């Protein structure tokens, strides 16, 4: 039987159990929180500014919450393709605002933006674009169409290495960072190969109940250089990457 990765992804994000386990995963949440804070810090607005923002792939509403805390006068629209995740976002954001709008549609379809009301001063997305690797360049065009002049598109996401050598360098740096953390905590300097083996075993254990998945080859196209080129092709004028650490980056496009 051929494994249909797209159908599998859709099914699990519509699962209450999976959505809740993703939201409450403390280890992963630390990295997500750090990226969200960098993304919000990159928004070119004063804290008291009143503007309209669209959160693409809003999930459980964590990024929208971060924005509302720093910019209490914003109007926010949360988009996601999972009703389960949007339900979490509604409960989460109800403690902060009664002005949020929630829209369920799918970025993997070209007409998603037609059901989004109005124009925006900012569009944001955190760890979303790598989930729709074959649609990223088209989504950038679609986002450009719903941004007001002087509006910004701020993306926080994983980016692919530009080639196999850089991929090996990223892995080596990651392993050395883990090695240093273990030594600081225990005084023991573990072998890098042993650390890599433990990471692989943990990943296999975590995925043991899931069908065997093949990495989408289109993800290799999601390099920082390609993201910047796609933003330029979509019509964005000022394009930059103000922060990058190995395979995580903040990418910005400004529409003039």
CB pairs under 8 A, 24+ apart, for 95-99?
96/65, 96/68, 96/69, 97/68, 99/75
CA distance 70 to 171: 35
Question: In a 3-state reduction of DSSP, which class is residue 222?
Answer: coil
- Domain with 104, as residue range(s), is 5-21+45-160+222-254
Name the E strands within 81-133. Answer: 101-104, 120-126
- pLDDT for the residue 125: 98
In a domain, 110, yes or no: yes
Q: Tell me if 178 sits within 8 A of 58, measured CB to CB.
A: no
The pLDDT value given to residue 11: 67
Residues 189 and 88 in one domain: no
Residue 121 lies in a domain: yes
Task: State residue 215's pLDDT score.
Answer: 60
Provide the 3-class DSSP secondary structure of residue 132: coil
Whether residue 112 is found in the same domain as residue 13: yes
Q: Is residue 142 part of a domain?
A: yes
Between these two residues, 254 and 10, which has the higher pLDDT value?
254
- In sequence order, the 6+-apart residues with CB closer than 8 A to the CB of 78 are 55, 58, 61, 64, 86, 89, 93, 100, 101, 102, 103
Question: Is residue 60 within 8 Å of residue 88, measured between CB atoms?
Answer: yes
What pLDDT shows up at residue 247? 94
Number of separate domains in the chain? 2
Strands 248-254 and 238-245 turn out to be: antiparallel
Query: Does residue 168 share a domain with residue 151?
Result: no
Strand locations in the chain (E): 52-56, 75-80, 101-104, 120-126, 147-158, 238-245, 248-254
Lowest mean pLDDT among 5-19, 150-164, 185-199, 240-254: 5-19
Both 172 and 66 in a single domain? no
Q: Evaluate if residue 64 carries a pLDDT over 80.
A: yes
26 assigned to some structural domain: no
126 and 243 co-located in one domain: yes
For the chain, the average pLDDT equals 89
Q: What is the pTM of this model?
A: 0.88
Q: What is the pLDDT of residues 181-211, one digit of tens each?
A: 999 999 999 999 999 998 888 877 755 555 5
Q: Residue 141 — pLDDT band, cuts 50, 70, 90?
A: very high
pLDDT given at position 66:
96
131 with 13, same domain?
yes
């Amino acid at each position: 039987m051929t494994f249909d990765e797209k159908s599998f992804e859709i099914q699990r994000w519509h699962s209450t159990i999976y959505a809740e386990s993703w939201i409450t995963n403390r280890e992963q949440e630390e990295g997500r929180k750090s990226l969200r804070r960098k993304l919000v810090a990159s928004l070119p607005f004063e804290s008291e500014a009143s503007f309209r923002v669209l959160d693409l792939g809003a999930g459980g509403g964590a990024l929208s919450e971060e924005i509302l805390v720093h910019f209490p006068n914003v109007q926010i629209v949360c988009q996601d393709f999972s009703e389960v995740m949007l339900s979490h976002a509604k409960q989460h954001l109800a403690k902060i605002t009664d002005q949020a709008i929630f829209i369920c549609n799918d970025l993997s379809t070209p007409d998603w933006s037609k059901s989004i009301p109005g124009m925006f001063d900012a569009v944001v997305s955190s760890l979303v674009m790598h989930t729709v690797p074959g649609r990223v360049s088209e989504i950038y065009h679609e986002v450009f169409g719903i941004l007001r002049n002087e509006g910004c598109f701020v993306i926080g996401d994983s980016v692919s290495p530009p080639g196999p050598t850089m991929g090996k360098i990223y892995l080596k740096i990651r392993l050395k960072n883990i090695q240093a953390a273990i030594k600081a905590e225990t005084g023991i300097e573990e072998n890098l190969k042993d650390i890599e083996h433990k990471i692989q075993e943990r990943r296999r254990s975590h995925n043991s109940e899931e069908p065997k998945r093949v990495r989408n080859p289109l993800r290799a196209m999601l390099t920082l250089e390609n993201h910047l080129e796609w933003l330029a092709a979509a019509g964005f004028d000022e394009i930059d990457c103000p922060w990058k650490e190995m395979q995580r980056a903040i990418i910005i496009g400004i529409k003039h």
